[in-house]
Amino acid sequence: MYLTTEKKQEFFKTFGTSEVDTGTAEGQIALFSYRINHLTEHLKKNKKDFSTQQALIKLVGKRRRLLDYLKIKDIGRYREIIKALKLRK
């Protein structure tokens, strides 16, 4: 499996407040970004995997909504997570 429990805890420790606090927007955005990158690589090899393509579109939408929420609540945290994950080019 590409995403283990230890890897998830690492994301939440790095981007969230602690490794057990899985509800922070930053931790969830980081986790979604990792999953999006993994699915993108999968779709480069398997172009006709439409169920994965649909899951990728849903994940991108979830991440976008979380980023919008964070932008409204605290613009500083939003800018930090964008810079840390290199989401803007």
CATH code, 54: 1.10.287.10
Provide the number of structural domains found in the chain: 1
- For 37-66, what is each residue's pLDDT tens digit? 999 999 999 999 999 999 999 999 999 999
What pLDDT was estimated at residue 89? 57
What pLDDT was estimated at residue 76? 95
What does the CA dihedral 86, 33, 71, 27 come to, rounded to 10 degrees?
Answer: -110
Nearest to 27 by CA among 15, 10, 9: 15
Range(s) of the domain holding residue 48:
5-85
